[in-house]
Chains A and B, each alone.
Chain A
Amino acid sequence: MIEEDILAKLISDKSGVSRSEAQTQLNELGVNIKSVVDAGEVFEMEGFGTFKKERNATVFEPDEVLQTEINQKYAGMRPIELIGSFKETAAAQPVEQVETPVPVEVEEVVKEPLVEISANGTEPPAEQAEPVVSIEDKKKVLQESSPPPPVQEKRGEKEAGESETGRASVVLIIAAIVAAILLAGWLLYSTGVFLNGKTARSVPVRNTQGVVVDNNVSNKPDGVANEDVSKATNAVYGLRGAVQPEAKDGFTIIVHSLWRKKHAFETLDAIKAKGYRALIQEANVGDQMYWRIGIGQFKTIKDAKKAIKSLPEPYKSNNFIKQQ
């Protein structure tokens, strides 16, 4: 609380009047106000306000200028009309509502003599999140007598002619188009147009010995088909099929070295989906943990090198052979 000495000091600092003088004048002011008011008269301070007695109690009416200054933050704000149903979405213009999302202090609420909605208990912040639309100012109620406020943009709430049902059918059409594109894409994928000659089967056909029988005979630029079959007959080792535990003493072709585990496993699945035998390894290089994805299992380095020739790019040019 600012009073006495501190108040005198502040006044002295501001006016250049000495502190003692300010103190004297403060006392004098208090006495003056009291005597005037007690006599039933009004004590007016220009630009500040008036003191008077109302039913035996001293009241202070702040001057308009003072009120506006105090309410600087919100001065010029006008009540905003809320719409009951929120059909119009994008037209919302939360005009100059600075504070709304956060109900700050817990001071008393000064009640005005108007009907209020039960919203008194509920915090209105949610209101601003929802579409709030203002209308042209036909409002006469709640006109503060403050000086002409800064231009407050009020837009009509009508969307440019778009009715509800019209919009719904547009959305439907778009959804149908998207669905058609996705369907077409899936069909193409399954007929192998996008792939490098291999079918999009995630589980390659095999016989009991784990030999991969590749049925797809579409054109293969690297002449892979034959090599596939020859690799496949080498049951334990190979480029395709499932990872064989017996082959773990061999070598693999590392085609990826990744940092993120999740990404690594996703890539692993992608490679398996292409029909390759793929495995994943952890490796520590310096401080960094890498997840390495290897293709195929081979008895010798020589076999691995041979297999590399049959790999598509980018694997063909970007790999190294590692012991499993």
Chain B
Amino acid sequence: MSWRLITDDGVSASFGLAADEALSPPTLRLYTYRSTCALVGRFQNVAREIHVDFCRDNSVAINRRPTGGGAIVMGADQLGVALRVPALPGRTRELMGRFSEGVVAGLSDLGIEACFRGKNDLEVDGRKIAGLGLHRDLSGGLLFHASVLVDLDVRAMLRILKTPFEKITDKEIATVAGRTSTVRTTIGREIPLEDVRSAVASGFARAWSVTLTPGAFTDKERAAIDRLETEKYGTEAWVFQTTLVPDAAGSARVKTPGGLLDVHVSLVGRMIKAVYIRGDFFAPESAVADLEARLRWHPATPEAVAQTVRSRADEMGIPPDALTEAILAAAQKADPYGCFVKAHG
């Protein structure tokens, strides 16, 4: 079987997203955005996720993906992956893992052992190296998105993306940097993005047993892209739409037998969007990052949080009940509905 392969670089935010939606299947597109773009997930509230004034003052383009997940920055050092295929059977969670095999295989060729987190991202030693997303259209056809971190300026990213931290200091920058990995830092050299693109292309060809045939956008796709940019991705109505699901953030500082815990939680309705766990305790950084990743886009109910915390209890150096209490205490302070998350006791 043959897939078309499209590669393009330095595209605008609206063009990049419109082009992905306009692709005829089966097509793999590996591309870069013009530095820098801030892209929120399908349903996020821009004002909640992005420092809009900073973006406007610094020519950072803001837009909204058709796929889910969180806010990301994209530019010359991040490889955009868009795979458009016809309908496939299977559960969403399993399809995401299947699609990500192409990226995993490509990174493996570069000497990077990445793995698919059950619902979220690709990670190396518990640290995110690629974000993933998926959209199923009315016909059942699928658009898979991945943003591969070839390199990342964390300080610059934190000027664009909002975090639960009250202020950004070197400590917060180090925390976020400790939760992410890049191709260049993992392999220890300034590999050109083009080499990463070639590896990922080969990875998809191998993972899906397909032949990739270089191609370009058709006239029909170009017309669709123009229309989508005009009617959707270039409009304030699309970019700045809001959802009624409330966002909230909360923090808790708790003394535990294992040490002081400093927990920050971001909630979307009854879902944990992100958790940052810091403090005066002994645990491998990878274990903390792993637990934080497992709690992303995770129900905030006491039972669900306790179960996930228990699954990583051995490595955390903190009694699981105490860790669960701290996370729920932070979530309770965030509580967007009022009194739906109760810490025990």
Q: Are A and B subunits of one complex?
A: no
